[in-house]
Structures are given as C-alpha cells and as structure tokens.
Amino acid sequence: MEDKTCAASAAGADGSARRRFLKLASTAAAASVLPAGAGAAAPAKPGYDVVVVGGGFAGVTAARELAHRGARVLLLEARNRLGGRTFYSKFGERKVELGGTWIHYTQPHVWAEVMRYGMEIAETPGVAHPDRVLWMSEGKVLEIPVMENWALLEDALKRFHAEAGEVFERPFMAGLSAAGRKLDHLSIADRMAAMEMSPAQRDLMNAMMATNCHGPIATGAYTEMLRWWSLVDGDAARLLYSCARYKLKDGTAALIERMAEDGGFDVRLSTAVAELSQDAAGVSLVTEADERISARYAVVAVPVNTAGQIEFSPPLRPGKTAMAKEHHAGKGHKLYLKVKGRLETLIFFAPETELFTMVFTDQPGEDGGVLVAFGPPLDGKVDLNDPKAVEPFVRRFLPHLSVEQVLGYDWGLDPYSRGTWCTLRPGQFGKHLEDLRAREGRVFFAGADIATGWRGFIDGAIESGLQVGQAVAAELRGRA
C-alpha cells in the first residue's frame, strides 16, 4: 500500500524537493497497519472523552491506556497508516524498516510490550557480530582487527562521556541537573574539539557521533549523548547494541498493530488536524478537510518538528512555539542497499563530510546481500533512490561490490515528521523541554521527542504515551 497521505500532502516543500519526496513516498510500499474498522470514511461519533492526535507509538500507547480505563477514545492520524516514524516496507523480496527499527532490553517500555504480545526478535548481524570493521580517515580506508578498532572507539567514547555520571545520575528523571545546565550550551563538536585524539580516532568518533545525532555534530547537544551513555551505565558495547542489534522479526508494524487491536479505540486515518482550541467545557479540533470534532480532552502526540503546523488556541507556551520553529537536529538519512558480490558481516564508518557515516550488513551472502546505511542530511543533493549515485561510495570500502537496488525515505521532507529521531540542539534541553512536556489546560502532550529516558527512541514514545495516558485517565476520574 502506498503512503499516499504523505505524498499528497508534501505541498509545502519546494518544487524539486516535493517531486523527490513524492517519488520516495511512492517507492516505499507500506505494510498494512490498519486496525479493523479504521479508515478515513469511519464517521467520528459524538461524545468522545479524549481525542488523540497522531498514531505513532506514543499516540497508540496513550489511546490504548485510556481505552483500557474505560474512556471513549478517537485517534486521528494524518497518514494512511499507523506507526509514524516507524515504517515497515517492502524492499524486493524482503521487508525492511525505513524508520525506527532496533529495540533492546535496556529499554524497559518497549521490551515490556515485546513480552506482553509475545513478539519474536531478530538480530542485525553487522552489529551483533561483525567479522570486519573498516573506517575512512583523511580520505583513506583503514582496517585493523575488530577488537583493536573497538578499543580505539571505546577509549574515545569513555573520555567523551566523562561527565555523564554527574550530569545524569538518574537518566530516567525528568529535568536537567545543575551540572547539566552548565554543559547544555555545548555541541557534540565542541566537546570533541577539547579532546586529544589521533586523526584516525577522531574520524571514527566523528562517524559514530554523527550517526547517533543524525545530523552534523555541531548541531547536536553534548547533553543528549551524555544521556544515552548514562542509560547504558557507561557501557560502550551496550550502547551500540541498544541502538542497532535487536529488532522485531515481523517488523514494528506487527507490534503497533497488536497494540492498536488490543486498545479497542476508534481510529481515523488520513485525517490531519489543522486547528485545536479549548475552553472550560472541552476541546475542539478542525481537520484539514474542515471537519469539526470535539471531546473533553486532547492528547497531542505529533513530532515536535511538525507541531507548528497545528494552530492552537489559546497559543502554546513559549518553549513549544520556539521548538516548532527551531526544530531538533535529527535530519539525516537511512538507506537500504541491495548489493551484488560476496557480502560479509561487517561495519564501516566515515566522517560526516561523506555520504554515509555508518554502514553495516543487514543480510550477508556469498553472491550478495543487503547493507543498511545512515548519513547526514543531504538537502536533495544526492538521489538516494539511484543505485549509481551511492555505488562509488560503497566501492571505496568494498571495490568488488555493485549496488543493484536502494530504498530510502526522506523523513525531512515528509510533512508529518520533518525530521528523524529527536536529538536536541545545544541549549534546547534546558530551555524548552519542560515547556514541551507541560500540559496546557485540557490538552496533553506525548511523544518520543519529549520523553525523559530514551528520548528519540520507540521506547521513549511508549514511555511518554503510558505516562500521559495515566495522567488523562486520572483527570477523567477526578472530573467524572
């Protein structure tokens, strides 16, 4: 099924970018994540307690929690599928995750869902057990034994994150400590500039950090990386595994489908909200198709980079309006490459000046296989759906390979995401996060982008959805 909702709504983008977006959206065939009875045609019934705006993991979790507590819930989703920044799509004979993919038992909220619904887990071989690690430094490809490479990276990671224990003694608590406030103005690049490293170690570290922040390292906050490090108790291997080892065998689509089915709430797909107002009696929403829907409360679970597209009345707190303009820094790309030639289980890194910063084996094979790649924002400079455009980069590492097919999805151009995972920019944590998380009267806010623990991850989306679901349910009980 095409993600036509996104494609048709990319009108805000400039002409060439829009055309590129349409092409990307139409090549990415979505898995069917439609709860029974859901669809644009399903009429909104009167008398909802809560309208949830946004059907990613945060919105679906909040809707499920509320419905399980007896609330009448309607979820409105702009796209023609649930899942938001997760997108399980066909790629040749297989299916791949174009958005959020990896989960880990260090991530308590998503892992609880895996256990609850009995989901099966698969592993990504290039990260789980690479036979080779290569990286580009000063234009040359370097390779040393895997464990020596790891020691080089681990040494840099430990020194880079030296302040993590002091800043995030309890990384799951909301708010930034006094120590964190002192460092919040620093970017990842600022902190790296203060470290002594050989050029080879610096380029390896640059690749790792540019991948983690999914944007230029000058745009990502140092405090964000300290938080990740604290969440894995300063264990470099656990950090890498938490980010890219375990995934859902049947895809993220299977999990969100189970959650939505279990929830038993009403869903309207292809229904973008344009306006949201409130008064003492309740909330009133106007869709892009000019339909009016009312309820007692609203949960807004849309990405912070897109929240500015909804007109709120009365206006939101300064942190929310500022963030809608500034955006978070996660704007990079993710791509799958089907290659011809022997593909081992390997991983390669390159600094952020290159097309990709991290590439690893998704599926090895004697005659070919699949690589998954991450890189910095390209702003339309390279056509990521053209195998020939990316092949020269791959051949610098593995000259015997040819690239046969590629599939990416431009989350930066997608009007309902305007970016990838949330990495706050320097200063945004201290200045805006409290405002972003705060309820405004009858309107509550949820999302991975404003979670406390694994912010920017599927786990954070579920954490936030659980908390907000509970908060709104308590409110409904109090006012019943």
- Binding-site residues from annotation: 77-78, 273, 374
The secondary structure element, H or E, covering residue 423 is none
Quick one: 23 or 342, whose CB is closer to ligand FAD?
A: 23
What is the DSSP secondary-structure string of 69-98?
TT--EEEE-SSSSS-TT--EEEETTEEEES
The greatest distance separating any two alpha carbons of the chain, rounded to the nearest whole angstrom, comes to 68
Rounded CA-CA distance 167/177 in Å is: 6
- What Å distances lie between residue 115 and 69, 119, 395, CA to CA? 21, 7, 41
Q: Is the separation of the CB atoms in 212 and 228 below 8 Å?
A: yes
- Site size toward ligand FAD, by CB under 6 A: 41
85 binds ligand FAD (CB under 6 A): yes
Alpha carbons within 13 A on the beta-carbon side of 441: 17
Q: C-beta of 375: minimal distance to ligand FAD in Å? A: 11
Verify binding: residue 225, ligand FAD, rule CB under 6 A. no
Scored b (16 or more CB within 10 A) or e, 381-390 reads eebbbebeeb
Q: What is the smallest separation between the CB atom of 144 and ligand FAD, expressed in angstroms?
A: 27
**Of 152 and 272, which has the nearer Cβ to ligand FAD?**
272
Residues 448 and 424: their CA atoms lie apart, in Å, by 12
127 lines the binding site for ligand FAD (CB under 6 A): no
For the bound state, the minimum distance from the C-beta of residue 271 to ligand FAD, rounded and expressed in Å, comes to: 7
**Binding of ligand FAD at residue 35 (CB under 6 A)?**
no
91 binds ligand FAD (CB under 6 A): no
Cα-Cα-Cα-Cα dihedral sign, residues 277, 283, 289, 290:
negative
Query: Binding site for substrate: what residues are annotated?
Result: 374
Interface with ligand FAD includes 430 (CB under 6 A)?
Answer: no
Binding ligand FAD (rule: CB under 6 A), the pick from 377, 412, 430, 456 is 456
Task: Give the DSSP H/E element, type plus range, for residue 50.
Answer: strand 48-53
Q: Which is nearer to ligand FAD, 127 or 153 (CB)?
A: 127
Q: Cα–Cα distances in Å, from 100 out to 209, 269, 341, 350, 448?
A: 18, 20, 28, 22, 11
Query: Can you tell me which of 10, 21, 80, 99 binds ligand FAD, judged by CB under 6 A?
Result: 99
**Residue 273 engages ligand FAD in binding (rule: CB under 6 A):** yes
Q: Which is nearer to ligand FAD, 393 or 409 (CB)?
A: 409
Nearer to ligand FAD, 56 or 125 (CB): 56
- Residue 102 touching ligand FAD (CB under 6 A): yes
Cα gap 333→169, rounded to integer Å: 32
Specify whether the backbone of 194 is left (phi greater than 0), alpha (psi in -120 to 50) or beta: alpha
Rounded Cα distance between 201 and 117, Å, is: 42
Q: Is 457 in the site for ligand FAD (CB under 6 A)?
A: yes
Lay out the site mask for ligand FAD across 41-80 (x = CB under 6 A, - = otherwise). Answer: ------------xxxxxxx----------------xxxx-
φ, ψ for residue 108, nearest 5 deg: -65, -35
What x-and-dash track marks residues 322-361 binding ligand FAD by CB under 6 A?
A: ------------x---------------------------
Nearer to ligand FAD, 101 or 149 (CB): 101
Query: Three-class SS of residue 333?
Result: strand
- In the region spanning residues 367 to 426, those forming contacts with ligand FAD, defined by CB under 6 A, are 411, 416-417, 420-421
Among 236, 343, 448, 472, binds ligand FAD (CB under 6 A): 448
Closest separation between CB of residue 283 and ligand FAD, Å? 14
Residues flagged as binding site for FAD: 77-78, 273
Q: Interface with ligand FAD includes 301 (CB under 6 A)?
A: yes
Q: Smallest gap, in angstroms, from Cβ of residue 467 to ligand FAD? A: 13
Q: How many CB atoms lie within 10 A of CB 238?
A: 17
Q: Which two tokens stand for residue 261?
A: 């089915």
CB of 440 to ligand FAD, least distance (A): 16
Enumerate binding residues for ligand FAD (CB under 6 A): 53-59, 76-79, 84-86, 99-103, 272-273, 301-303, 306, 309-310, 334, 411, 416-417, 420-421, 447-449, 456-459, 461
